[in-house]
Structure 1
Amino acid sequence: MYDYTNLSANEFEILCSDILSRELGIDLRHFSPGRDGGVDLTESPTEKKVVVQVKHYSKSTFSSLKTSLEKELEKLKEMKPRPNEYYVCVSKDLTVDNIKEIRQIFNDYMDSDKYIFTKNELDEFLSKESNQDILRKNFKLWLVADKVLTQVINRDVFIDGEVLLDNLEKDFKYFVQTKLFNSCIEILEKSRKILISGDPGVGKSVTSKMLTFYFVKQGYQIRYTTNGEISDLKRSLQDNRELKEVILLDDCFGQYYLKLKQWQDSELISLMNYINLCENKILILNSRVTVLNEAQVVSRKLREYLEDDKVKIKTINMNAITPTEKAKIFYNHLLKNEIPNDYYASVRKNKNYITIVKHPNYNPRIIEYVTHQRRYSKVEAEKYYNFIIETLKNPQEVWEEEFSQGLGVGDRVWMHTLFSLTDTLVSIDLLEECFINRLQMEGNIDNTTNKFEECKKRLTSSLVKVVDDGKGMVTGVLNPSINDYMKHSILSNQLEVNNIIKASVYIEQIEKVLGNAFEKEVNLMLERGTILEKKSINDKIPVYIIFALINNRIRNLDYRKYISEGLLKINNLQDFFGTKLSKAGIISKLLKDTEIFDFYNIKELLEDYSFRRNFITNLNLKNVTAILEILDSKEYTEEPIFEDLIDSYRSMIENHVYDLDLLDYIEAEDCKDVAIAYYNGTNEEYEEALEVLKNQITELLIEEIMSLIFGPNNDEIKEYTFEFIIDRLNDEMEDVVKWYIEPEPDDDYPDPREDNFEDDYTLDTLDIILDRDI
């Protein structure tokens, strides 16, 4: 029933300790190998009345298990005093004959086979309702129990992004379930939102991934984005609020804050507000500490939201992992990468692993680096420990040697081209196109072989990963620290920046390497018309063009055909070189600027239905109202084409009114009387208070919206339009108000940063984990 192969030897010992402690009614401790004298678990290191030998031999033959147990018998014979009870706990399924043979080995110490716990007995124990707390502690065990991972891989559980599955089974098998992970679960089960912060490489992404699959176990579907676009994520959410969905936004502010667009904080807050309203939605965010801090400095709205005591969103610092947990992470990496015993010997010698685990620069990403075969194989086995310590002392040099000495010119061009295109993942075909263009410019590389495939093969698994995202093959760096290194090395090298710009196929490549200087370059390209020579991954060029037409008053009839597309693609609010620009603002300027309006003959363009449609889509109620005021003031509003445009805008207004979020018009203070009646009054008093509040909100809607749009004399339109608003108020008001007046919990989960996460570890604790064979 349960798959114990995902547990390390130490994790299996801990599981057996929990199980037998409860089964026998005593508190068992476990000990490090080499000093146990045949004892893995016992209630007292001095008396040893009860002794348990644990054998994690799930993948081995019974013959190997038997041989190992026969060796334990020799240790048992030397044990003074003789234990009263001796148990054997194994992770294998055993036949009746197998059990008899083990019983025969320990015939002098066992009077029945009840002292032998096999996989079958362990499964039976963990299946009991009364023991679910022990099962829950072993996340890796219970998640697989119902074949959840198999369901995910077979797409029985919907995932928006195949990248989430990349290396899932390995991540899962070697994941360490920390106290912080358990704390995250508690917070999410209560508040349904969490933001996990921490330094690069401390495990934010893998923790977020495992939290996501924890909720898959609870029947949730996954919504996930790999490109950081919150709007894409929001569009993937189902309208059904009853549908259980867990939303994962990895690196929610980007790898550097400059990736957070001006409108993205509003979209993120909107997403979190949506989660507030939907009891069946879970939101998991993560961000680097530095990026999160900068985001809050730059965005007052985001800072106020996160600091509001009423907001059930918690920031957990992933740096608070304990020495014991660090030891487990280190050991799992050693197992995962199959470190040879002669290398591991230098780590075990004189208990060197204690220095590693307690090093101030300890970081799972550095541990991942030093346990990779490509790196450790470059040093002699007896110097492996020194290599690890030197890397911990100088973590900024983790990738420097790899790039400067380990890569050829073609490999570096491949990596630099990848950096110029993305911080996350990019189509392998698109990368190849840009790589080939760069090689043609270089001119000094042998092109008689397929250089792209050769470089990809060399770099895969050491610096980059290639996965199928469901739409095609995509590639990106193995972890963000590689991008950190390239950002510094490339941007500090003006010659390489110039080469990337010169060889660029896509405008995003220029934007990536120029940063703040990109505005000047784009303006020059717009004035010269050379911007049309570039492609755009995100179809930005039409938006740049319409921005230039309006703000720089550039006149170039070659740009006329891009105006409609630019209007369609611009979001409600865009950030152009630090300037906030709305679609409504562009349209307003376009209508008011007579010279530009006439030069590009906008009036003629408006006669095309598709242009008019692009003119009005993606505008909110306030935007539409502002544009209507401009149109009403124009001298040509009586012409049929403008009458049609105005009618389209008015239809949009009615649609906006119909889709209004009532929460925007209700304050907690407004619900005070309703709350009093709800808790202390009669049902009639509650209904009366609710009706009063409905009337207040209806009047507010009429005053603030309808009078603004239709004017004070359109009472007939107002009455017609508000019929469906009143119906909605009748249907939804009670639920909306209850959302405001439900009492707050008496207490909240404390910030884990304020807890003492340093467990009472001793040298024995670390020895148990690390002083054992791989």
Structure 2
Amino acid sequence: MNRLGNLSAPDFEDLCRDILQAETGQRFSAFGAGADGGVDGRHSKGTRSTVLQCKHYLDSTFSQLKLALKNEVPKIDLLNPSRYIFLTSQSLTPARSNELADVLGDRLKHQEDIWGAEDIEAALKRHPDIEKANLKLWMTSTAVLERVLQSGLEAHTEATKAEILDELRVYVRNPSFDAAFEKLELNRVLVVSGPPGVGKTTLAKMLTYHYLNDDWQFCAIRSLDDGFAKLDEEKRTIFFFDDFLGQIELDRQALIQRDGQLARFVKRVRASKNSRFILTTRAHIFEEARRLSDHMDEGRFQLSKFLLDVGQYTRSIKARIFFNHLAASDLKSDHVEALLQDDWLKKVVDHPNYNPRLIAHIAAEFPEEWEPSEYPKFAYKTLENPALIWAKAYRSLSMRCQNLLVALYFGNQYRQPIKVLRENFNAIHNKICEHYSQPSKPEDFEEALKSLESGFVTISGNQVRFVNPSVRDFLKEHLSDGSFLGLLPTLSVRAEWARNLWDHLKNTFRTDPDKLKALAQEFCEFASKLDQIPNFSKVKSAQYNYWFRELDDLSIAERGSFLLDLFEHADDRGFLDAAISVLTSDVLDIEASRDARDLPELHWRISGFVDPGVEVKEVLLISVEAALVKAIEAGVPMDELVAVKDAIDEYLDEAIDLGPIEDAINSAIDYEFDEISTTISDLSSETELNEHVEMLEFIARHTGRSAETAKTVVLEKISEIEVPDYDDYQPSSRGRSSHADAEFSDNDLMSLFSTLSK
């Protein structure tokens, strides 16, 4: 297979210019693809000029290539260059090369100025940096594809080899790639931000491919605990955290739980020569997080300094993205011909709603039964109303499929185990079908999942998620029918699902307090069961073949906060009784770090917002205090003790009896100081141990203790560590982004796309 086939016509022209510049040492100016007057690159010096022309004719016959060259002869005569160089992606035998030379006659100064595919491949071997800088060339080799698949990146994104190649064919490298790479190398941390659908995850993946080609390991993380577990200063590892603050809106609870941990992880990565960290988030989510988080923008962290806002595409880049998608699609030349009429092409490329995700849909989802002449209107209407992408498809789904999407929407926003999704689906499906007088069958879950796969959801192992966040965007707006949503509270079977449903109801009916009150009261039955719904599950580690316990539903503090919120809207004391049951439950287990950090704020909310006349208020406060002591005694890690103490100082009133809480904190701190050899036994790197020294000093300053003895033990362990002997990472050449002229006229636009209509 000729790997040049993975390049679009503009990509091929860029490659040819790069090769000729490397071969001759001369810089060639770029010209747009299409009716370019016989010029795809030109170098001028004084009265002498060199013109190069590229014909990406892989899918054409030699006769067609020869005819195309004949048609260029009048243009060459008009230009009258000192030297004319012709490059084609077709394979040329000596005989065919001679035939092309005969067409050019004395316009060709040197026989070697005709280049075929073999000549281009030979030049790439002479200039390996050009190949390394071009993802679409080196990513097509079987060995590289296997390495990418084995890295874990594509297991994370559920891509196959064919899908990787499809994505590469439509990718247009643009200035944001270079800016991202430079910022990542400078800081070792990069936050890729931007509006929905602009290509944040695609950019992150392309950056990651570059590192994988330099033999780095890949680690996709869904929690910072995953990241800390994989940090190894001797192994070059690139970490990737997609939608780290939430997919379509800020996950406030995750922010509260992660911001301090994120600061520490970023610090560790920045201290390591062999680590890089890429995070993605929507721009509005990041801005909201900065307003709410103490760590996001404070002087010692300033996550915003790692921020790159993508999506600011020039007209040239937007045109090439659309061009590549059309070139890789099954659409015929008639569809493109229709686009070239009546300014339709300009309306698409210059549309204010233009983004790569919509362009991908426009190129791939045109109904086969429609006439090509209808294609421009389809493209334009999609951009005018992006919600139509999913609305029409959703309306055509069976009720079982719609119910499965509802079950998935209110579950974990990243992905959901099939077992959990089935549980949530079964809880709502039969009742909804019964309410709307629709039939249901035992096999509805399996059939719905099979029907939705690839179109609306993707399945990886035993995990299900939406095919991309725009499905969740659509459902957020679509699920607004109060009568339908009112069925769901009593059908909830998991705490997280019910809490997410409640958050959606609050957002949907925020201007209708009476409606919200009525909906809150619908949770009464579920609330009474909340103390009996387990929050931990047993999970088997595939890597180490042992079982461990994992939090897989709302923590005790999160359940208490959810119930208090329902009480505030419903004014029903039953929710406070349910909160007491949750806080004192024998079924629920403490999640030490999370509960110890969150319970002080719950105590503050109850103190300030529950009327003193409510007789269970005192019992509720005492229950929170007892749960807090239990959480601290369960074993809060030292790095979390600081956050717990800060929360206690901020939220707990001095008027209450802090004795038991302070005793628990002091006991935990004493253990950290007195049993220092045990607490640092799992720490093996100098960075980790230095961080531990900093935490000892911080706690000592805030508690009046002396940290000297404990510090001595840590410093002795540091002195015993042999500094690893590894070379600094020298990034391989990444070339340059696609040629994007400042000016890209209407003629340039028409010329580019006219090559697809032939």
**Residue 408 in structure 1 maps to residue 360 in structure 2:** no
* Contact 1:164 1:209 (8 Å CA) reproduced: no
Distance change in 2, residues 1:562/1:532 (3 Å): closer
For 1:587, the equivalent position in structure 2 comes to none
* Contact 1:30 1:41 (8 Å CA) reproduced: yes
* Contact 1:410 1:451 (8 Å CA) reproduced: yes
> Among 251, 264, 267, which residue is 1:270 paired with?
264
For 2:471, the equivalent position in structure 1 comes to 482
> Among 455, 462, 467, which residue is 2:455 paired with?
462
**Residue 662 in structure 1 maps to residue 690 in structure 2:** yes
For 2:349, the equivalent position in structure 1 comes to 357
Report Cα offsets for 1:226-279 as digits up to 9, x if no partner. Answer: x4x3333333x23x3132111111112112113533122112212211112112
SS of match in other structure, 1:476: strand
For 2:749, the equivalent position in structure 1 comes to 766
Distance change in 2, residues 1:335/1:433 (3 Å): farther
Displacement, 1:210?
Answer: 1.0
Distance in 2 between residues matched to 1:531 and 1:352, nearest whole Å:
60
For 1:742, the equivalent position in structure 2 comes to none
Distance in 1 between residues matched to 2:52 and 2:620, nearest whole Å:
86
Amino acid across the alignment from 1:708: R
Distance in 2 between residues matched to 1:354 and 1:598, nearest whole Å:
67
Report Cα offsets for 1:171-214 as digits up to 9, x if no partner. Answer: 22321101111111121122211111111111111111111111
Larger radius of gyration: 1
> Among 359, 369, 378, which residue is 2:361 paired with?
369
* Contact 1:549 1:555 (8 Å CA) reproduced: no
Distance change in 2, residues 1:767/1:525 (3 Å): same
Distance in 2 between residues matched to 1:612 and 1:383, nearest whole Å:
64
Displacement, 1:544?
Answer: 5.4
Amino acid across the alignment from 2:484: E
For 1:388, the equivalent position in structure 2 comes to 379
* Contact 1:543 1:570 (8 Å CA) reproduced: no
* Contact 2:689 2:718 (8 Å CA) reproduced: no
Which residues of 2 match residues 278-677 of structure 1 at below 5 A? 278-304=272-298, 308=302, 313-373=305-365, 375-377=366-368, 379-404=370-395, 406-441=396-431, 442-443=433-434, 444-447=437-440, 450-464=443-457, 466-468=458-460, 472-490=461-479, 492-515=480-503, 524=524, 528-529=528-529, 531-532=531-532, 538-540=551-553, 543=556, 560-562=585-587, 565-567=589-591, 570=594, 573-574=597-598, 615-616=634-635, 618=637, 620=640, 655-656=678-679, 661-662=689-690
**Residue 180 in structure 1 maps to residue 171 in structure 2:** no
Distance change in 2, residues 1:614/1:216 (3 Å): farther
Amino acid across the alignment from 2:203: T
**Residue 258 in structure 1 maps to residue 243 in structure 2:** no
Distance change in 2, residues 1:97/1:422 (3 Å): farther
Report Cα offsets for 1:22-50 as digits up to 9, x if no partner. Answer: 43565545656663566655558xx9975
Worse-matched range after superposition: 611-620 or 327-336: 611-620
Amino acid across the alignment from 2:372: A
Worse-matched range after superposition: 571-580 or 215-224: 571-580
For 1:200, the equivalent position in structure 2 comes to 196
Distance change in 2, residues 1:41/1:575 (3 Å): farther
SS of match in other structure, 2:474: helix
* Contact 1:197 1:318 (8 Å CA) reproduced: yes
Aligned residues: 667
For 1:683, the equivalent position in structure 2 comes to none
Distance in 2 between residues matched to 1:331 and 1:272, nearest whole Å:
39
* Contact 1:467 1:475 (8 Å CA) reproduced: yes
Distance change in 2, residues 1:290/1:579 (3 Å): farther
SS of match in other structure, 2:341: helix
* Contact 1:247 1:282 (8 Å CA) reproduced: yes
Amino acid across the alignment from 1:266: G
Report Cα offsets for 1:704-759 as digits up to 9, x if no partner. Answer: 489638xxxxxxxx886454234257578999xxxxxxxxxxxxxxxx9xxxx982
Distance in 1 between residues matched to 2:534 and 2:658, nearest whole Å:
39
Distance in 1 between residues matched to 2:354 and 2:559, nearest whole Å:
50
Distance change in 2, residues 1:631/1:151 (3 Å): farther
SS of match in other structure, 1:561: coil
Distance change in 2, residues 1:33/1:171 (3 Å): closer
Worse-matched range after superposition: 651-660 or 493-502: 651-660
* Contact 2:559 2:582 (8 Å CA) reproduced: no
Q: TM-score, normalised by structure 1?
A: 0.73
Which residues of 2 match residues 53-64 of structure 1 at below 5 A? 53-58=53-58, 60=59, 64=60
Which residues of 2 match residues 10-29 of structure 1 at below 5 A? 10-24=10-24, 28=28
* Contact 2:338 2:375 (8 Å CA) reproduced: yes
Give the root-mean-square deviation of aligned CA atoms: 4.9
Report Cα offsets for 1:148-169 as digits up to 9, x if no partner. Answer: 332122x1x3559532646433
Q: TM-score, normalised by structure 2?
A: 0.74
* Contact 1:223 1:246 (8 Å CA) reproduced: yes
> Among 83, 87, 91, which residue is 1:89 paired with?
87
SS of match in other structure, 1:395: coil
Distance in 1 between residues matched to 2:407 and 2:583, nearest whole Å:
30
Q: Which structure 1 segments of 5+ residues have no match?
A: 582-592, 638-643, 667-696, 710-717, 736-751
* Contact 1:545 1:562 (8 Å CA) reproduced: no
Distance change in 2, residues 1:73/1:90 (3 Å): closer
